[in-house]
């Protein structure tokens, strides 16, 4: 008796694969050549990212030794981290120095160390090294200069951009900033020319990606009053323009507080830790770019948590964040700590990212370094 050979139509197989998580598809690439070819196809990867429910994870990097730890944040109560290694195949200057996480977008994490930037998809293992622009390289090398970094995706051009905002301390009486961005598609750095940007100093060097715009919390020098004003400075990735948004006006920013930007309930938001009242406040911009729409949404009495910094909120309203020195914790909307866990030896940086099969435009599947 002949055995019948089961045949699965190609179209049906694609429909099934589009519903599977990234982790399963990575394993299935080893089954046969046809599956490897399908799952590796950029068009399939893009369709999978657009149609599949995303799996969100936390990536944290620690020092001594450098270690990358990826955690499913919805399941982090059962803490069982999967360790990953960047495994760069070329020598790195300043390899003893720590990595900083610049940001994440569409499954990619952008890392910075010493004089180089690394684009990494931890789900697929893809990695790419980008050298700093000549001027920023000079500032970092000679002055140890810190910059406002950002990372995001320009959907109109199918392009990923690395953005750097800085001012040049080598120019006497310089009260203006420069903005450069690296286009992955064009494979080069470009400067926004013809504009005189105010001089900005960082409060947090990591830009927040929201609504196709990178946002930084910064200090702007006011030449008339000789004061520094806290503002949100933002770069639109599609229009490639810089603009400012004020912080909520109903707040006394002269008091001793810690603050930062994040996304809360799908709104651009500001979190504030105020020492004098032991409170944690959340302000949301109900209508994007409308300054009058800033609304105080939540006040949490976090008396037993030191310098709580939120990362994201879960579907049921819990907030996951960090507290020094290296604690990951979850609290509810009343400020009660639900779970906490110390993790990573000497936690240095942390970010939320989305699993994906995506590669970058014009990628040939090989590791390479972009030269000037």
pLDDT tens-digit series, residues 331-356: 887 777 777 777 656 556 888 999 99
Query: Which pLDDT value is given to residue 153?
Result: 96
Q: What angle do CA 98, 308, 63 make, to 5 degrees?
A: 15
Domain ranges (residues) in the chain: 8-53
pLDDT band of residue 93 (cuts 50, 70, 90) is low
What is the mean predicted confidence (pLDDT) over 122-131? 88
Integer angstrom CA distances of residue 237 from 78, 154, 288: 38, 6, 16
Q: Is residue 271 a contact partner of residue 259, using CB atoms and an 8 Å limit?
A: yes
Taking only the tens place, the pLDDT of each residue in 240-283 is: 998 999 888 877 666 556 889 999 988 999 998 876 567 788 99
Distance, in Å, from the CA atom of 231 to the CA atom of 201, rounded to the nearest integer, reads 10
* Range with lowest mean pLDDT among 99-113, 148-162, 254-268: 254-268
Both structure tokens of 98: 């720590």
**Helix, strand, coil percentages, rounded to 5, for the chain:** 15, 45, 45
What is the mean predicted confidence (pLDDT) over 16-35? 92
Which residue would you say has higher pLDDT here, 336 or 43?
43
- State percent of the chain over pLDDT 90: 30
pLDDT band of residue 134 (cuts 50, 70, 90) is confident
């Amino acid at each position: 008796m002949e055995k019948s050979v089961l045949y699965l139509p190609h179209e049906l197989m694609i429909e099934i694969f589009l519903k599977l998580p990234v982790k399963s598809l990575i394993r299935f690439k080893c089954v046969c050549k046809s599956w490897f070819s399908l799952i590796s196809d950029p068009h399939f990867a893009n369709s999978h990212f657009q149609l599949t429910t995303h799996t969100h994870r936390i990536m944290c990097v620690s020092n001594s030794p450098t270690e990358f730890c990826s955690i499913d944040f919805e399941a982090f109560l059962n803490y069982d981290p999967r360790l990953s290694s960047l495994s760069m195949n070329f020598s790195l200057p300043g390899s003893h120095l720590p990595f900083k996480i610049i940001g994440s977008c569409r499954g990619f994490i952008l890392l910075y160390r010493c004089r180089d930037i690394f684009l990494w998809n931890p789900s697929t293992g893809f990695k790419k090294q980008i050298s700093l622009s000549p001027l920023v390289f000079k500032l970092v090398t000679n002055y140890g200069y810190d910059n406002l970094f950002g990372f995001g995706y320009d959907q109109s051009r199918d392009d990923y951009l690395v953005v750097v905002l800085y001012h040049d301390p080598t120019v006497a009486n310089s009260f203006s900033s420069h903005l450069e961005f690296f286009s992955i598609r064009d494979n080069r750095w470009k400067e926004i020319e013809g504009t005189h940007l105010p001089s900005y100093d960082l409060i947090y060097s990591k830009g927040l990606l929201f609504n196709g715009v990178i946002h930084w919390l910064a200090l702007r020098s006011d030449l008339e009053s000789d004061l520094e004003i806290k503002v949100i400075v933002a770069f639109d990735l599609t229009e490639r323009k810089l603009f400012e948004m004020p912080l909520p006006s109903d707040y006394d920013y002269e008091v001793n507080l810690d603050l930062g930007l994040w996304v809360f309930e799908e709104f651009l938001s500001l979190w504030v830790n105020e020492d004098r009242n032991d409170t944690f406040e959340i302000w949301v911009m109900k209508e994007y770019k409308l300054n009058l729409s800033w609304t105080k949404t939540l006040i949490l009495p976090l008396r037993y948590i030191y310098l709580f910094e939120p990362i994201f909120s879960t579907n049921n309203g819990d907030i996951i964040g960090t507290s020094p020195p290296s604690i990951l914790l979850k609290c509810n909307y009343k400020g009660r700590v639900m779970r906490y866990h110390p993790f990573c030896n000497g936690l240095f940086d942390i970010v939320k990212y989305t699993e994906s099969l995506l590669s970058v435009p014009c990628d040939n599947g090989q590791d390479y370094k972009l030269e000037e």
